[in-house]
Amino acid sequence: MAAPNRSSLIGKAHRVLKKHFRAAASTANLPVMEHLLFAHCLENAKYEKAIEAFERLRQAFFDWNEVRVTTVTELAEVLRGLPNPAHSGAHIKRTLHSVFESRYSFELEDLKKQNLGAAVKQLQKYDGVTPFAVAHATQTALGGHAIPLDEATLDTLYIMGIISDDEKTKGVAPGLERAIPKKKGIEFTLLLHDMSAEFHASPFQPKIRAILTEVTADAQARFPKRTTAAAPAKPAEPSKPAAAAADETKKKKTSAENAPQKTTEKASEKLVEKPVQKPAAKEKPAAPAEAKKAAPAPKPSRPTPKPAPAARKKPPHKANTTSATKKLTKRKPR
């Protein structure tokens, strides 16, 4: 059996969606600027949730300029209930700021009088405006024919087999506007978006999976798979003998590190195995201590040299001695 072509799959998907879902109320009566802002709330969300969040946003602030100068954190708190309120709040803030910087107002109603192509290009230039928001404003505010595609819608079209994985990555669905006529564009968009948002919120719901399988039988092969985080492997517990041996080794190592160096050396000497000694031969009875310890004979001393004879002094001359004595003798008084 030949695989169905893309146009027939899109037509079959439209018929199945009409059987299981009801189109929500359209927001075609909003101004162009509010269509852009509402599209940021509608992205990946159900219509009921998006309308509730957008109404809270309009009631919580005085005008759009106050929203423009509000922090993303405060906007996310007001937009609670959306799949990603911080993402929606950031794009709303950037869109308001970009439009105000270029026009010094928040009015975009003049785009309805321009050519559709020129108006679409003007919307694409504003910072923060996503392709989904441009397509939504083109369909609902400018009267053009466009099918808004967000992440949830692209996932649904891929599971149905209408687009390929590469086209899903690029965010396009070739032939979708040709297969769905303009008069049925809004209805098809509301039905497809409602089911896509529900599938995005709970991708493992059996009801939604049954509807997708009704469109195409091989949709089950493209369903997202459940991923379970693998539990970390527990380390193997050592056996009791091994654990006891490890504790004993650890204690020995700690005591060896804390002991002084001498103790370590003595312990290492004790651990060294001594060689096996042979039995000593029988010794003879020892001799008496006096015979065993004989006094060593004194070594002969060298002969001391005799002192040299002193030189004989010559006797002093007599004449000289006598005359000297006479000179030193004093006369006695008479």
pLDDT digits (tens, 9 = 90+) for 147-193: 999 999 999 999 999 999 999 999 999 999 999 999 999 999 999 99
pLDDT given for residue 21 in this prediction: 87
Residues 206 and 116 in one domain: no
Give the tokens for residue 63.
Answer: 């005008």
Asked, for residue 4, whether it belongs to a domain, the answer is yes
Least confident piece of the model among 166-175, 242-251, 272-281, 300-309: 272-281
pLDDT given for residue 234 in this prediction: 56
In Å, how far are 34, 196, 258 from 91, measured between CA atoms? 13, 21, 67
Per residue in 46-66, pLDDT tens?
A: 999 999 999 999 999 999 999
Number of domain units in the chain:
2
pLDDT at 332 over 50: yes
pLDDT given for residue 5 in this prediction: 85
Instruction: Catalogue the E-assigned strands of the chain.
Output: none
Residues 11 and 74 in one domain: no
pLDDT at 321 over 60: no
> 3-state DSSP helix/strand/coil percent for the chain, to nearest 5?
60, 0, 40
pLDDT given for residue 1 in this prediction: 40
Per residue in 68-97, pLDDT tens?
A: 999 999 999 999 999 999 999 999 999 999
Residues 47 and 129 in one domain: yes
Asked, for residue 306, whether it belongs to a domain, the answer is no
Asked, for residue 84, whether it belongs to a domain, the answer is yes
Q: Name the pLDDT band for 293 (thresholds 50, 70, 90).
A: very low
Asked, for residue 318, whether it belongs to a domain, the answer is no
Last residue of a domain, one of 177, 205, 224: 224
pLDDT at 258 over 80: no
CA distance 227 to 247: 42
Where in the sequence is the domain holding 39, given as residue range(s)? 29-140
Residues 66 and 153 in one domain: no
Q: Name the pLDDT band for 195 (thresholds 50, 70, 90).
A: very high
Averaged pLDDT of the chain: 79
Residue 36's contacts (CB-CB under 8 Å, 6 or more residues apart) are: 95, 108, 123, 126, 129, 133, 136, 137
pLDDT given for residue 250 in this prediction: 62
Interval 114-140 mean pLDDT: 95
Asked, for residue 284, whether it belongs to a domain, the answer is no
Output the domain CATH number for residue 125: 1.10.340.30
Q: Name the pLDDT band for 305 (thresholds 50, 70, 90).
A: low
pLDDT at 19 over 80: yes
Residue 47: what residue type? Answer: Y
Give the tokens for residue 269.
Answer: 């000497």
Last residue of a domain, one of 118, 140, 162: 140
Asked, for residue 243, whether it belongs to a domain, the answer is no
Interval 290-301 mean pLDDT: 49
Give the tokens for residue 162.
Answer: 């209408």
Last residue of a domain, one of 192, 224, 256: 224
Residue 108: what residue type? Answer: L
Residues 88 and 153 in one domain: no
Residues 109 and 89 in one domain: yes
In Å, how far are 64, 232, 304 from 301, measured between CA atoms? 131, 96, 9
CA distance 306 to 228: 118
H-helix or E-strand spanning residue 189: helix 185-201
Residues 164 and 190 in one domain: yes
CA distance 169 to 154: 9
Q: Name the pLDDT band for 22 (thresholds 50, 70, 90).
A: confident
What b/e readout covers 182-215, taking b as 16+ CB neighbours within 10 angstroms? eeebbebbbbbbbbbbbbbeebeeeebbebbeeb
Least confident piece of the model among 1-5, 140-144, 172-176, 278-282: 278-282
Residues 68 and 107 in one domain: yes
pLDDT given for residue 236 in this prediction: 53
